[in-house]
Amino acid sequence: MPHTPVRVAAIHDISCYGRCSLNVIMPVLSSLGLTACPVPSAVLSTHTGGYGEVAICDLTDFLTDCLNHWKTLNLKIDCIYSGFLASHQQVDKVLDFIKAYPDAFVLVDPVMGDNGSAYRTCTKELQAKMRLLIKEANLITPNLTEAAMLLEEPYPIGNLPIQTAKEWLMRLSDEGPEMVVITGISLLPDKLSSICFSRTSGEFWRVDNTKVPINLPGTGDIYSATLLGKLLTNQSLPDALCWAGYFIEQCIKYTFSHGTDIREGILLEAVLPALFSKHSNSSLTKL
Ligand code: PXL
């Protein structure tokens, strides 16, 4: 039997130092048995989270050239997964990839900000274009900051009421994506929750994980790659949600316990084996 890999075109940046984006997405997807095809949107000397003035090589034109070449090859691409985009013009390039592979599952991780603020590269134009890009997605995975930006709502202070959380999930799904996951929500003391909605089943779920007092770059990238990897290897949405929550909790706890420089991100190399645990051990609740 020929082996047919599941191929994921991963359109994200490469940050040369500080674990995030393609540097962490590739190992997670590969470990889960998927073939990740990296399509770099930009190369940065470091991520933008604390290393000062970053050298950036914008690869907008490369995205066009890459797709044009791929089109001549009749490749089978099963999934398009977009993340950090260096400019609002790159949204059109991602849309070109989506048009070229109409049967591909589309995950848009709308990487725009965290903790109530936009990343310094995320302009108002990029925020507006991201609102258009999510319309073409099957699944989106904003954190709470990004969900607020997509909905043009203020960042919520304090705990988000459950009714508001459900309303935000549905409003985001109304924009297009069948599945919506919002991460990094405080609903319970000492817990961080991820919540999701499937429009097909009309169901909402929540997974609660231990809150660890540390904010590491790349966390959202590892979370979304794990969720995607589990979904594409035939786990249901709530099971994939449990796995992503469990894995990121292990990642953060391990890194916190080692006291490394926060900017270096998650000590992923040591934690990857947790992807193969027998159970995810996360507590799943219907919202
Ligand atoms: O992990 C998100 C991310 C991706 N890419 C770059 C970033 C960040 C967050 O800081 O700076 C370049």
Residue 54 binned pLDDT confidence (cut-offs 50, 70, 90): very high
Which ligand 1 atom is nearest residue 111's CA? 2
Judge whether 45 and 54 are in contact, CB under 8 Å.
yes
Which ligand 1 atom is nearest residue 219's CA? 1
Measured from CB, residues less than 6 Å from any atom of ligand 1 are 13, 15, 20-21, 44, 47-49, 84, 111, 119, 217-218, 220-221
CATH number for the domain including 190? Answer: 3.40.1190.20
Residue 1 has pLDDT above 60, yes or no: no
| pLDDT tens, residue by residue, 25-47 | 999 999 999 999 999 999 999 99
Residue of minimum CA distance from atom 8 in ligand 1: 47
| pLDDT tens, residue by residue, 225-235 | 999 999 999 99
Ligand 1 centroid distance, CA of 80 (Å): 19
**pLDDT of 111:** 95
Measured in whole angstroms, the distance separating CA 241 from the mean position of its chain's CA atoms is: 12
The DSSP bridge pattern shows strands 56-58 and 113-114 to be unpaired
- In whole angstroms, what is the distance from residue 216 CA to residue 189 CA? 20
Percent of the chain with pLDDT over 70: 99
Position 254 in a domain: yes
| pLDDT tens, residue by residue, 247-259 | 999 999 999 999 9
Residue 51 has pLDDT above 70, yes or no: yes
Residue 220 has pLDDT above 90, yes or no: yes
**pLDDT of 187:** 87
- In whole angstroms, what is the distance from residue 185 CA to residue 193 CA? 5
Residue 281 has pLDDT above 80, yes or no: no
Among 222, 127, 227, 206, residue whose Cα is nearest residue 160: 206
Position 1 in a domain: no
Residue 202 phi/psi, 5-degree rounding, is 70, 15
**pLDDT of 65:** 98
Q: Which residues constitute the domain of residue 122? A: 7-286
How would you class 43 by CB atoms within 10 Å of its CB: exposed for 0-12, middle for 13-18, buried for 19 or more?
middle
Position 246 in a domain: yes
Residue 4 has pLDDT above 80, yes or no: no
Residue 58 has pLDDT above 70, yes or no: yes
Judge whether 46 and 200 are in contact, CB under 8 Å.
no
Average pLDDT, the chain: 95
Averaged over 100-109, what is the pLDDT? 98
Judge whether 165 and 144 are in contact, CB under 8 Å.
no
DSSP tag of 233: T
Ligand 1 centroid distance, CA of 55 (Å): 13
CA distances from residue 285 to 148, 155, 202, 208 in whole angstroms, order as listed: 23, 25, 15, 8
| pLDDT tens, residue by residue, 108-161 | 999 999 989 999 889 999 999 999 999 999 999 999 999 999 999 999 988 888
Ligand 1 centroid distance, CA of 103 (Å): 28
Helix (H) or strand (E) holding 37: strand 35-44
Position 2 in a domain: no
Considering its fold, how many domains does the chain have in total?
1
Ligand 1 centroid distance, CA of 272 (Å): 20
Position 181 in a domain: yes
Position 191 in a domain: yes
